[in-house]
Structure 1
Amino acid sequence: MTIKCSIVPVTAYQQNCSVMVCEQTGKAAVFDPGGDIENIEAAIADLGGSLEVIYLTHGHMDHCAAADVMRKKYGVKIIGPQKEDAFWIDKLPEWCKMTGFPHAEPFTPDQWLEDEDSVSFGAQTLSVKFCPGHTPGHVVFFHESARLAIVGDVLFQGSIGRTDFPKGDFDTLVNSIQSKLWPLGDDVTFIPGHGPTSTFGHERETNPFVADTRFG
């Protein structure tokens, strides 16, 4: 494997912020920094990395509230999600206040992503899969050689993302999982936005929402 990876649960929501470091260059990527920046920084240091870029799967506060603070502190870019999630990021102050979450200002990513885009850090390249349903602009990041996917709140061990938020849709989410994630391979390990890791193959066998047997 050409990367080192650490999962850092952050915020009261215990959101899985992922830190990925390129072993060849020492450059690091942070996925979904929702808060607790000092814990994320410690993980980067433990892996011997230096931050190069921030990637976002979607615009919910527990996944992105610390992104702009880190962007300004380190002079790096925020890349993702897809532009349909702009309304979530624009309303960060309202959502934070409503839920008692630490305040976060709205921001604009340096780059919005689309399906089948490629992004890179260090010597590593990840492919982008557009996976709406939980939010309308949700994306997934896939490192092919490591057989590792950062899926945000699309899929969990034994469950799938909520679809009762504004612009969420259950059928769209299920279609995203089946059409964008399953073809990547049963052997792919995924890091969800919350909870333990799993593999696509395990979820195809056991997940009550998207198991193959559910669809005949």
Structure 2
Amino acid sequence: MTMRIRIIPVTPFHQNCTLLICEKTQQAAVVDPGGDVPRILQAIAEEGVTVEKIFITHAHLDHAGGTAELAKSLNVPIEGPHKDDTYWIEGFDMQSQMFGFPKLEKFTPSRWLEDGDTVSFGAVEMAVLHCPGHTPGHVVFVDHASQQALVGDVLFRGSIGRTDFPMGNHEQLITAIKTKLWPLPDETKFVSGHGPESTFGKEKKTNPYIY
């Protein structure tokens, strides 16, 4: 396995910010720095890695609120989400009020991501899957080599992402799970935006929200 994952819980929502580490090169990427940037920087220092990029699954504040601060601290580019989440980035002030967060700085990604794109750091290359429904521009990152995925708030162990926020769409979410995630190997382990890890095979068999 060439990629190792360290989960860094951040924000009062206990969002699973993740530090992805290429074990060949000790280069790294941070996925979904929702806040608590000093905690993220401490984890990076503890691992002794060099962060190349920040990846964003979607632009809800608990996933993206610390993006601008972390990008400035590390002087690295931001990749993702899909451009259809522009609404949520532009609405950071609205989100701060909605979720009870302090006012946070907006960001513009260095690169918007599309379905079928790839992102890379060190010797690791990950596939990008556009999986709308929780938000319109939500993306998922998959490392086929190590059979690991970062699914944000699309899928959880025993549950699925909420679709009652503005621009959420339950039918789109279920379609994305069935057409984008279920074809991946059952053994693929995924980290969700919140809660424990699981595998696609286990969720296919036991998740009561997908029918």
TM-score, length-normalised on structure 2?
0.97
Equivalent residues of 1:4, 1:47 under 8 A apart: no
* C-alpha distance in 1 between matches for 2:2 and 2:48: 14
**C-alpha distance after superposition, 1:158-179 (max 9, x if no partner):** 0000001111111110000000
Aligned to 1:104: 104
Aligned to 1:16: 16
AA aligned opposite 2:54: I
SS in 2 for 1:183: coil
Q: Is 1:187 equivalent to 2:187 in the alignment?
A: yes
How high is the sequence identity, in percent, across the aligned residues? 52
Aligned to 1:203: 203
AA aligned opposite 2:183: P
* C-alpha distance in 2 between matches for 1:51 and 1:118: 18
Equivalent residues of 2:69, 2:105 under 8 A apart: no
Return 5+ residue gaps in structure 2 as ranges.
none
* C-alpha distance in 2 between matches for 1:99 and 1:135: 16
* C-alpha distance in 1 between matches for 2:105 and 2:70: 13
* C-alpha distance in 1 between matches for 2:184 and 2:44: 28
* C-alpha distance in 1 between matches for 2:159 and 2:185: 19
Aligned to 1:128: 128
* C-alpha distance in 1 between matches for 2:76 and 2:117: 19
- 1:95 CA drift (Å): 1.1
SS in 1 for 2:182: helix
Aligned to 1:50: 50
* C-alpha distance in 2 between matches for 1:23 and 1:76: 20
* C-alpha distance in 2 between matches for 1:106 and 1:20: 23
AA aligned opposite 1:122: G
**C-alpha distance after superposition, 1:71-92 (max 9, x if no partner):** 1111100100000001101111
* C-alpha distance in 2 between matches for 1:116 and 1:168: 22
Aligned to 2:68: 68
- 1:46 CA drift (Å): 2.6
- 1:99 CA drift (Å): 2.6
Q: Is 1:34 equivalent to 2:17 in the alignment?
A: no
- 1:147 CA drift (Å): 0.5
Return 5+ residue gaps in structure 1 as ranges.
none
* C-alpha distance in 1 between matches for 2:161 and 2:131: 11
* C-alpha distance in 1 between matches for 2:73 and 2:97: 24
Aligned length: 211
Aligned to 1:7: 7
Deviating 4+ runs (over 2 angstroms): 45-48
Equivalent residues of 1:116, 1:127 under 8 A apart: yes
AA aligned opposite 1:27: Q
SS in 1 for 2:9: strand
* C-alpha distance in 1 between matches for 2:178 and 2:97: 35
* C-alpha distance in 1 between matches for 2:93 and 2:79: 20
* C-alpha distance in 2 between matches for 1:80 and 1:70: 15
TM-score, length-normalised on structure 1?
0.95
- 1:5 CA drift (Å): 1.2
Equivalent residues of 2:56, 2:64 under 8 A apart: yes
Q: RMSD over aligned Cα, in angstroms? A: 0.9
- 1:138 CA drift (Å): 0.3
**C-alpha distance after superposition, 1:37-96 (max 9, x if no partner):** 122122222322111100000000000010111111111001000000011011112211
Equivalent residues of 2:17, 2:31 under 8 A apart: yes
* C-alpha distance in 1 between matches for 2:166 and 2:119: 28
* C-alpha distance in 2 between matches for 1:46 and 1:17: 16
